[in-house]
Amino acid sequence: MKRGFSIALVVLGFLAAGPAALAATPVNTTRAASAAYISGGVRIVGVRVGGLSAAAATSAVEAAFAKPLPVVVDGKTYPLAPEHVAKPYVAGAVAHAHTAVPGDNVPLTVVVRGADVRAFVARIAKQVDHKGKPARLSLVNGNPSITGNVPGRALKQEPIVAAIVHALTVSMRLPLRFEAAAVPPPKTADGGTGAVILINRSLNRLTWFDDGTIRRFPVATGQAIYPTPTGQFHIVVKWKDPWWYPPTYDAWAKGLKPVPPGPNNPLGTRWMGLSSPGIGIHGTDEPSSIGYSESHGCIRMQVPDAEWLFDHVGVGTTVFIV
């Protein structure tokens, strides 16, 4: 009876005290304080964190930062994982967001490791870069043919490194697009193909080729006993107004004396010596021999034709004789 009477007195006491007594009753406010850590409408580098707890805001920003950055080179995508090259200071941004007002967009401090970014770009370049193919000259179906001459590709790395650093610093994840630059093909061993000469012994004709342009000239080639050699040669020397010296190794020249420049010079006014010893392309003091096989192995041209050719070829020019 006494116990029941005591409980009844407690209840009556609360009823007498009214709402004030109920308001004084302790309440657990931990969850409410956590939920209200960041004001509504606040963002951290564009990530909505308003109304989130500190832990939830941290997770949201870290997840956004971890999204790969697409680096696109020549249409191929190379995704970069930001955590491999940079560190975001999320805790500081969340603390800053705690004091921000609705509408604020809080920055995120990101430290980018330049060496790691350069290593990433270098790996891309290793896949993209390739050397070109030099021009190769050959004779196909009786005509000079150039094969190869393919340009290479090279990736300029520094602009890509700078763009990646900027994108990570401002927390941007839009694709970064780049193209490798064309690189001229390497030169051939003799410095390039340039003009090409084709000499046909059976037709006694010299054809000059240069970048699609063709000119043909009648010539005289070697007699049967002194044939003009066949094969691939190149011009090794050019002389203007040359002296003619009788070849000491040929019986036909025995007793002959050197001839200075002039109208009676057997070489005319121009000499273009070939890589075959003693053989060259030159003018002549016997214009009637042009069109026939009457020389001692050299290729004779009319003097004006030899002068024109002299001005349109250089040392190293390829000469095919067929």
Name the residues annotated as catalytic: 282, 298
Q: Which residues pair with 152 in a beta bridge?
A: 183
Task: Collect all residues with Cβ–Cβ distance below 8 Å to 146 and sequence separation of at least 6.
Answer: 135, 136, 137, 193
HSE-up (13 A, CA, CB side) for residue 211: 4
Q: Identify the CA nearest to 284 among candidates 276, 292, 295.
A: 295
Helix axes 114-128, 157-169, angle to 10 degrees: 140
Nearest-angstrom CA–CA distance, 50 and 85 = 29
Structure tokens, 294: 């009457």
How many CB atoms neighbour CB 60 within 10 A? 17
CB atoms within 10 A of CB 137: 19
User: Using alpha carbons only, how large is the chain's radius of gyration in Å?
Assistant: 45
How much of the chain is helix, strand and coil, in % rounded to 5? 30, 30, 40
State the Cα torsion 84-85-86-87 to the nearest 10°: 40
d(CA 123, CA 97): 38
